[in-house]
Amino acid sequence: MTQPDKKILVEKTGPVTTFILNRPQVRNALDREATVLLTQAIRDFEADDGARAGVLWGAGGAFCSGADLKELGGGTDYIPWAGSAEGPLHRRPSKPVIAAVAGHACAGGMGLALWCDLRVAEESAVFAIFSRRWGVPMSDGTTVRLTRLIGESRALDMLLTGRPIDAAEAQVMGLANRVVPEGQSRQSAEELALRITEFPQIAMLSDRRSAQTQADLSEAEAIAQELALAEEARRKEAMQGAKKFADGAGRHGAFDET
């Protein structure tokens, strides 16, 4: 399935785009070339009107072990993945992206998983800041996004100690959204991504935007922002959706149109 000469692969199935980290021989560590390629792949996804959701997955049974430390140790500096405008994680994507985590998501690999909206983890998945041992600081958004996601106390436990977090604990703390059997993370994430694309998109994206940008606002400011973001969906989708419900669609919690 994968092409060994390409470090980043992109596969599209209808409205779902899957990004594949394709360096399994180094647990999908990203060297400078792979980082540039991933950044461009994300930009292409953002610009593609037909792409509604993405999945990020690592080939060969590992998600991502972070930056390529052998390259860094050889004197090649790496692009700060979040802090640099040229980094793949510089800003949140404008569309939902789901991390399909098998094996290790370590250091920068954690940063990649945290950049995504949701994380589907296999039962043997491991999240950790193993780079703590080598004096390599986070420049991929991990210290910020991890803390905002699971809270300062739990984030500091991971950041200061470097201890591994298995999938079960990750789900309890909110780091993993769903845990699936071995070998099923990509399929499960793609099925979830496809389901997301089937909802009316304006309302879904406005709710997503409100949730992601409300943290630094007062409650009144956040509610005012929610109202403003919802305006287009109220005009273009809500009336039509309400009519479908009134006509009998989606009763009793059903998510189909009948």
Query: For residues 76 and 236, what is the distance between their CA atoms, to the nearest angstrom?
Result: 51
Half-sphere exposure of 51 (CA within 13 A, CB side): 23
Indicate if 119 and 90 belong to the same structural domain.
yes
User: For the whole model, what pTM was predicted?
Assistant: 0.91
The answer to the question of residue 255 being in a domain is: no
Q: Whose CA is closest to 120, among 145, 143, 88, 97?
A: 97
Indicate if 126 and 215 belong to the same structural domain.
no
The answer to the question of residue 2 being in a domain is: no
Indicate if 89 and 209 belong to the same structural domain.
no
Residue 234: domain span: 201-250
Indicate if 158 and 53 belong to the same structural domain.
yes
Q: What is the pLDDT of residue 3?
A: 65
Q: What is the largest CA-CA distance in the chain?
A: 66
Q: What percent of the chain has pLDDT over 70?
A: 91
Indicate if 13 and 128 belong to the same structural domain.
yes
Instruction: Say how many domains are in the chain.
Output: 2
Q: What is the pLDDT of residue 70?
A: 87
pLDDT in tens, 60-95: 999 999 989 888 778 777 789 999 999 999 999 999
The answer to the question of residue 256 being in a domain is: no
Indicate if 138 and 229 belong to the same structural domain.
no
CATH number, position 83: 3.90.226.10
Indicate if 163 and 189 belong to the same structural domain.
yes
- Residue where a domain stops, chosen among 197, 223, 238: 197
Q: Whose CA is closest to 195, among 132, 118, 101, 127?
A: 118
- Residue where a domain stops, chosen among 175, 197, 219: 197
Do you know the residue count of the chain?
Answer: 258
The answer to the question of residue 236 being in a domain is: yes
Indicate if 243 and 189 belong to the same structural domain.
no
Query: For residues 18 and 1, what is the distance between their CA atoms, to the nearest angstrom?
Result: 13
Indicate if 135 and 225 belong to the same structural domain.
no
pLDDT in tens, 12-38: 999 999 999 999 999 999 999 999 999
State yes or no: pLDDT of 258 exceeds 50. Answer: no
pLDDT bin (cut points 50, 70, 90) of residue 242 is low
pLDDT in tens, 178-237: 999 999 999 999 999 999 999 999 999 999 999 999 999 999 999 999 999 999 998 888
Assess contact for 8 and 37: CB atoms under 8 A: yes
Indicate if 141 and 224 belong to the same structural domain.
no
Residue type, 36: V
State yes or no: pLDDT of 96 exceeds 90. Answer: yes
Indicate if 174 and 75 belong to the same structural domain.
yes
pLDDT in tens, 147-182: 999 999 999 999 999 999 999 999 999 999 999 999
The answer to the question of residue 1 being in a domain is: no
Secondary structure, 3-state, 68-112: CHHHHHCCCCCCCCCCCCCCCCCCCCCCCEEEEECCEEECHHHHH
Indicate if 111 and 180 belong to the same structural domain.
yes
The answer to the question of residue 177 being in a domain is: yes
pLDDT bin (cut points 50, 70, 90) of residue 135 is confident
Mean residue pLDDT across the chain: 91
Query: For residues 71 and 94, what is the distance between their CA atoms, to the nearest angstrom?
Result: 31
Residue of 250 and 205 predicted with greater confidence: 205
The answer to the question of residue 257 being in a domain is: no
SS3 211: helix
